[in-house]
Structure 1
Amino acid sequence: MTSVPWSTHAVELRSDSVIKRFRRECRGKCEREWRALTLLAAYAPGLAPVPQRADLAAEEPVVVMSRVPGEPMRGEPLDDQRLKALAAAASELYGAVPAEVLAEIPVRPGQQHQLVAQIRAWAPQARPRVSDEVGEAMDRGLDWLARSGMERASQSDVPMVFGPGDGNLANYLWDGTRVRIVDFEDSGLSDRPFELAEITEHVASWVGPPLDVEAFLDLFDLAAAERVRLTECRRLLALVWLFLLSFDDPQHPRNRPGTAERQAARLSALLTNARH
Structure 2
Amino acid sequence: MEGQSTTHDLDIRDDIVIKRYRSWDRREPHREWRALSVLAEYAPGLAPTPVRADVDGDPPMIVMSRMPGTPLRGTTMTEEQTVALAEALTKVHSAVPTEVVRTIQPAAWGPAAAVDKARLWAEKQPDLGTDPRVADAYALGTAWLASADPDHLTTNPMPPTLGSSDNNSANYLWNAAEGRVHIVDWEDSGQSDRAFEIAELIEHISHIDDFSDREGILDHIHLDNQEIVRVRDFRRVLALGWFLMLGPAGPFASRNPPDTLAKQADRILCLFG
TM-score under structure 2 length normalisation: 0.89
Q: Which runs of 5+ in 2 are unaligned?
A: none
User: CA–CA distance in 2 between the matches of 1:206 and 1:159?
Assistant: 32
Whole-angstrom distance in 2 between the partners of 1:24 and 1:249? 21
Name the stretch that deviates more: 234-243 or 158-167: 158-167
> Cα RMSD over matched residues?
2.1
CA distance change for structure 1 residues 9 and 271 in 2, over 3 Å: closer, same or farther? same
Three-state SS of the structure 1 residue aligned to 2:68 is coil
Quick one: distance in 2 between partners of 1:25 and 1:126?
32
Give the Cα–Cα distance (whole angstroms) in 2 for the partners of residues 93 and 228 of structure 1.
Answer: 21
Question: Residues 158 and 47 of structure 1: is their aligned pair in 2 closer, same or farther, counting only changes over 3 Å?
Answer: same
2:223 counterpart of 1:209: no
Once the two structures are TM-superposed, the CA of residue 204 in structure 1 deviates from its matched residue by: 2.0
Report if the CA contact (8 A) 2:107-2:192 is conserved.
Answer: yes
Q: 2:195 aligns with which of 188, 193, 196?
A: 193
Count matched residues. 265
Which 5+ residue runs of structure 1 have no aligned equivalent?
none
1:150 match: secondary structure: helix
What is the CA deviation profile of residues 169-218 of structure 1, one whole-angstrom value per residue up to 9, with x for unaligned ones? 111111112111101112111122111101111122343302251x3201
Output aligned runs, 1:1-276, within 5 Å.
7-26=6-25, 28-125=27-124, 127-128=126-127, 130-132=129-131, 133-151=133-151, 154-176=154-176, 177-213=179-215, 215-246=216-247, 247-248=250-251, 253-272=254-273
Identity of aligned residues (%): 41
Superposition deviation, residue 152 in structure 1: 5.2
User: Partners in 2 of 1:262 and 1:65 — Cα distance?
Assistant: 38
Shift of 1:23: 2.2
2: CA distance between counterparts of 1:129 and 1:234?
20
Q: 2:146 is aligned with what amino acid?
A: A
Distance 1:199 1:229 in 2: 14
Residue type of the alignment partner of 1:169: S
Inter-partner Cα distance in structure 2 for 1:203 and 1:34: 26
* SS across alignment from 1:186: coil
C-alpha separation in 2, matches of 1:261 and 1:58: 45
Deviation at 1:268, TM superposition (A): 1.4
Q: So what's the TM-score if we normalise by structure 1?
A: 0.88
Per the TM alignment, residue 156 of structure 1 is displaced from its structure 2 partner at its CA by 4.4
Displacement after TM superposition at 1:138 (Å)? 2.5
1:113, distance to aligned residue in structure 2 (A) = 1.6
CA gap 1:16/1:131 in 2 versus in 1, 3 angstroms: farther
Distance (whole Å) between structure 2 residues aligned to residue 18 and residue 131 of structure 1: 47
Deviations 1:43-88 (A, max 9, x none): 1111110101111111221111110100001111111111111111
Q: Which amino acid aligns with 2:162?
A: F
